[in-house]
Structure 1
Amino acid sequence: MALFKKRTAGKPGEWFYCLEHQKVEEGPECPAKDRFGPYASREEAQHAMDTAHERNLQWETDPRWHDTPPGDRPPGPGQT
Structure 2
Amino acid sequence: MALFKKRTAGKPGEWFYCLEHKKVEEGPECPAKDRFGPYATPEEARGAMDRARERDLEWETDPKWHDGEGSGGEPGGPAAAG
Partner of 1:38: 38
- C-alpha RMSD over aligned residues: 1.9
- For residue 44 of structure 1, give the secondary structure of its aligned residue in structure 2: helix
Q: Which structure has the higher relative contact order (CA within 8 Å, separation 6+)?
A: 1
How much has 1:60 moved relative to structure 2? 0.5
Alignment correspondent of 2:73: none
Question: Hey, what does 1:64 align to over in structure 2?
Answer: 64
Query: How far is the alpha carbon of 1:20 from its aligned partner?
Result: 0.4
Structure 2: unaligned runs, 5 residues or longer: 1-5, 70-82
Structure 1 portions without partners, runs of 5+ = 1-5, 70-80
Aligned to 2:21: 21
| 1:13 Cα deviation after fit | 1.2
Whole-angstrom CA distance in 2 between matches of 1:58 and 1:27: 29
Q: Distance in 2 between matches of 1:63 and 1:11?
A: 40
How many residue pairs get aligned? The number is 66
Structure 2 match to 1:53: 53
**More helix per residue: 1 or 2?**
1
Identity over the aligned pairs, expressed in percent?
81
Listed one character per residue, the Cα deviations across residues 10-37 of structure 1 (whole Å, up to 9, x for unaligned) are 1111100000000000100000000011
Runs of 4+ more than 2 Å apart: none
- In structure 2, the residue corresponding to 1:65 is in which secondary structure? coil
Q: Counterpart amino acid of 1:68?
A: G
Q: Distance in 2 between matches of 1:12 and 1:30?
A: 15
